[in-house]
Amino acid sequence: MQTKPSNNELSSTDLVELYFTLNQIPSFGPVKFQQLLLQCEGDLNNLSQLTQSDFKTLGLSSPQISALNRPNASYIQKNVDWLNSNESHFVIGYTDPDYPDSLKEISAPPFLLFGYGNQEVIHQYQMAMVGSRNPSLSGKHAAHALAKELSDSGWVITSGLAMGIDAASHTGALDAGGVSIGVIGSGIDHVYPKRNKKLYERMIESGGCVISEFAPGVPPKPENFPRRNRIISGFSKGVVVVEAEIKSGSLISARYALEQDREVFAVPGNINNPLTKGCHYLIKQGAKLVDSVDDINEEFTNIVALHDPRDRKNIKKTSEQSLASDKLLDSVDYEATTLDVIAARSGMPVSQLLSALLEYELRGQVASVSGGYIKLGAK
C-alpha cells in the first residue's frame, strides 16, 4: 500500500482516499477499524509503518491484507468521482474533527460516513422517530403532528427515509419549516424506496441531509437496515417509536437507544391494533409514554430552552381551531366511528353531517375510512 512516511501528515485528499481504501477491504467493519486504529496509536498517518505481521496479529485475513496492499483502484476512483461531482457531497472519517461526538459514544461506530446536503446539521440536537412501514392513518398523522411540534421546539428530526412513519416524520418536520436527516440502508446515491425520491430531494433543499455508511452504488439489502438503525439512534438524544410490531426494526432501534444510553419514548394506541403492541411492550419495559410533545421536551429542558420556538399558543384562533372544539369533532373517535354514531352523539341530521364532515376532512381533522370516520390528532 502506498502511503506517505509517518513524519509527513497525509493531506486531506490522501486521507479521504485512505478511508476509501479501507472501505473496499472485504468484511472490514467498525470493530476491525478500531483495532487497526489502536495499532496505529490513534493516527492513521502511522498505517504505513505497520508490517504484514502486524496485520496478521490484528486478525486480518490474506484477502483483506491483499486488498489493503493492492486496493481496487476503480472502486476508489468511483468514490472520488462521486465526492467531486457535487459540492453538497461529503465524507467524514472517524478521525475527522467533524465526525459527530454522539456517534463516537456508541458501540461499533461507522468508520466512514457518506453524506449529501448540509453537513453542519448533523451536529445539531436531534430526535429520532421510527415506526411501521405500513401504519394506520391515525399513526401517520400522529407521527406527522409530533414531528412538526418537535421541529417547532428546535429539534432536528432524524429517521430512516422509509415509507410509513419515517416518511410522515420527515414530512412533519419539513412542513413546520424545520430540517430533517435521513439515514439510509443503501448507497448514498440510491434512493430507496423510489417513491420517496421527492422527499429525499426536499430534505436536501430544506437544509437537511442524507447520511449512509454505505458507499455509492451499494443496493439496499435486508442486513443493511439494522446497521443503519444504530446510527439513527446514535445521532439522537432520544428515539420516539410510533406504531411498531413486537418483531420490527423499530424495536431494534429502541434497543440500540437503550444500549447507547438514549431516552426511549413510545406513543400508545388501541390495544387491539397489532401495530401498537411494540409500543406498549416498550412502555412496560420503562419507555416513557408520549401523548404530547411536552412529554418529550420535559426530559430535555436545557436543550429546548436554547431554542426560541414559534409562539403558536398566542396566535389568534383560526376558524380551523374553532371547529376543533365543537361538538361534532368530539363525536368522532380515533378509531372508526360510524355515521349513525356520530349523528347520535352530535345531534345533527345526516344531511348536514356529511357536508360538515367533508369540511373537516379537507382541513385534515378527520378522515373517511372503512366503517366511518376517524379523528386525526388530539385537538
- Cα(296)–Cα(289) distance, integer angstroms: 9
Give the number of other Cβ atoms within 10 Å of residue 176's Cβ: 21
CATH of domain 316-375: 1.10.10.10
CATH 3.40.50.450 placement within the chain: 119-310
- Cα(307)–Cα(96) distance, integer angstroms: 28
- 364 grid coordinates: 385534515
Hey, which residues does 182 pair with through a beta bridge?
159, 210
Query: How many alpha carbons fall within 13 Å on the CB side of residue 73?
Result: 3
CB 196 within 8 Å of CB 91: no
Burial of 202: CB neighbours in 10 Å, binned 0-12, 13-18, 19+: middle
CATH of domain 119-310: 3.40.50.450
Q: What is the DSSP string of 319-349?
A: HHHHHHTSHHHHTS-SS-B-HHHHHHHHT--
pLDDT reported for residue 302:
82
* Angle (nearest 5°) at CA 109 between 104 and 113: 100
pLDDT per 10-residue tile (average), the chain, 379 residues: 50 94 96 95 93 93 95 96 96 96 93 97 96 93 95 96 97 96 95 94 96 96 92 96 90 92 94 90 95 94 69 34 58 84 81 77 77 73
CATH 1.10.10.10 placement within the chain: 316-375
- Cα(129)–Cα(153) distance, integer angstroms: 15
CB 161 within 8 Å of CB 190: no
Residue 82 to residues 76, 86, 181: CA-CA distances in angstroms? 10, 7, 20
Nearest to 137 by CA among 162, 165, 158: 165
pLDDT reported for residue 339:
84
Identify the H or E element spanning 264.
strand 263-267
Q: Quick one: residue 175, left, alpha or beta (phi over 0 = left, psi -120 to 50 = alpha)?
A: alpha
pLDDT reported for residue 377:
65
pLDDT reported for residue 2:
37
Backbone φ and ψ for 238, nearest 5 degrees, come out as -160, 165
